[in-house]
Chain A
Amino acid sequence: MTQPARSATDEAAVRFSAVSKRFGKTLALNEVSLAVRRGEFMTLLGPSGCGKTTLLNLAAGFFSPEGGEILIDGERVNDLPTYNREIGMMFQNYALFPHMTVEGNVAYGLKARHIAKPEIDRRVAEVLGLVKLAGLEDRKPRQLSGGQQQRVALARALVINPTVLLLDEPFSALDKNLRASMQVELREIQRKLGVTTIFVTHDQSEALSLSDRLAVMSEGRIRQLGTPEEIYRRPLERFVASFVGDANVLRGRLERIEGAHAILALGATQVRVPKGSLRGGAVSAPVDLYVRPEHLEVIETSGPCARSGTIVAQIYQGGYVDLFVECTDSSIERLLVRSAGHQAMTRWPIGTKVGLAISTDEGVAFPIA
């Protein structure tokens, strides 16, 4: 499939600038600005009610913003109705037309554009091949499995060569195995076609694995915009650190700054984090260190440890083991340690007194507000 010719006035395929949207008394979006680059897979991630779906629906034109501008392909679309925007949208429940066949569903957007019949047939066949649905043209949606319905929805959105593909939690209705394979497939197709994509999800692992960049949202604002790695390793806010991935919060004290590092006192040990991972706070003031479970390590109590406690639960996850350690050093806290392989199951049985150490300088420290 070929992408339509573009006006090269804006390097962003979709641009939101200071967009606000209010529903009754609730401010759903508070001056959100975001530029989605051409060909990029951009994820809007956040808990329900954070405004991510509202932002997507504004791009689709289902309603208009109270303030700010939305540009698609460099053109201001605030007042452009949905049907005149070159978008392809995939809905959470797929929204396939139940009274039409697979072919009828996929051809719908082309017919609305008054494209000639032979051309429609050719493009429908091509896109159904792309999503591996050739041969199912005459089925009705209710005769298809969930995964097949999703492919139809994707084909229907892609066949019109949209400037931007909008995906509203498309995987939430699929079971885990199917979801994983559909994710891989969607990403492959998206790369192959180079279509700009905005993807809405509340599932942080999905967001991390699929996106080129992601915008973490809460309460109508974008909290952080970055690559999955930036978001995961260098969260700028407590909210981002705790929403994306699992995090243990360890109360400590900022000891001193030493060159490019900040030294924190944590229990009986000292921990080093890059200065860039220190989000403020004065020397000798208390800080919270956010540590990923895979960066915590269970050790014997004999050595100096950041925390000490008791193993209270083991969860076998296949490739790794999750150990829950209850610490009583200062206040009671339950920490999660993720240990690769299965040895941890036998080495640290439930009830064992253990110490905890921090194995890398990957933590991020936030001052106490």
Chain B
Amino acid sequence: MTALLLNILIQGVLLGGLYALFAIGLALSVGVVRLVNIAHGDLIVLASFGLLWLTQYAGLPLWAAFLALVPVMSGLGYGLQQGLLRRVADKGLLPPLLVTFGISIIIQNGLLEAFGADTRSFASGALQTASWRLTEGVYVGALPLLTLAVAVCLIFAIDRLIYASHFGARLRAVSEGPATASLIGLPVDRVYGLALALVGATISIAALFLGLRMNFDPLSGPARLIVAFEVIVLGGLGNLWGILAGGILLGVAQSVGGAVDAPLQVLAGHLVFLFLILLRPQGLFRKN
């Protein structure tokens, strides 16, 4: 019995690593640019399809495809800010949300046209099935563990970037006071653009592990957005490590739900999320 519970817990924590990866980009986007990007999940899926195209049709090995994709997604993020979002930033609450909503639908249907509705995933060979046995009946998969490790490293790296670098100081400045920032001559739009470029890079990482660990299809973006959203609301936006905590909480909730009855997995996550909003809408972590 304890083995079962331990397994559920471990799987939940490991799943949390993947969910944290989904959420990092959204957290940056919300925290710095103040944008809840409705197309966030779709961008992850887009990147996954990009990796798919590069590996299947262009014949690149996965690592090379990933390296090629990062600058593309970063450029896409930068272009999204400078090309579109900048123009609607001062028009109020709704326009940026509606623009990203439109982009979400465009991406989904564009992918449907280009790739069809089948679900896809990446093969990773031995890594996919490798696992360690902790004790009787309790296993830790290599790939999920790697995912969690990558999430931790990425959060650490971004935390250092934001709090210990000059670029990070600029990010924090425009996040805290965009009006003041322009008054003192900071190129606010360019800083936003670079922030979204960083988001694009994190999306590439999330896409890699999405494809390795789960299936994806053109319409699976919104589900990823909702996961990312739940993670950052659960963790609160004050602290980057809250993303990890939120991810793990969601992962464990889903893991428990899934153990009770497979279709309950996603629902369990939603219910925990809604329950927490009721109790503590500001999330688990207070601001730094």
Asked if A and B are interacting partners, one says no
- By a beta-carbon cutoff of 8 Å, the part of chain B in contact with chain A is none
Interface residues of A (CB under 8 A from B): none
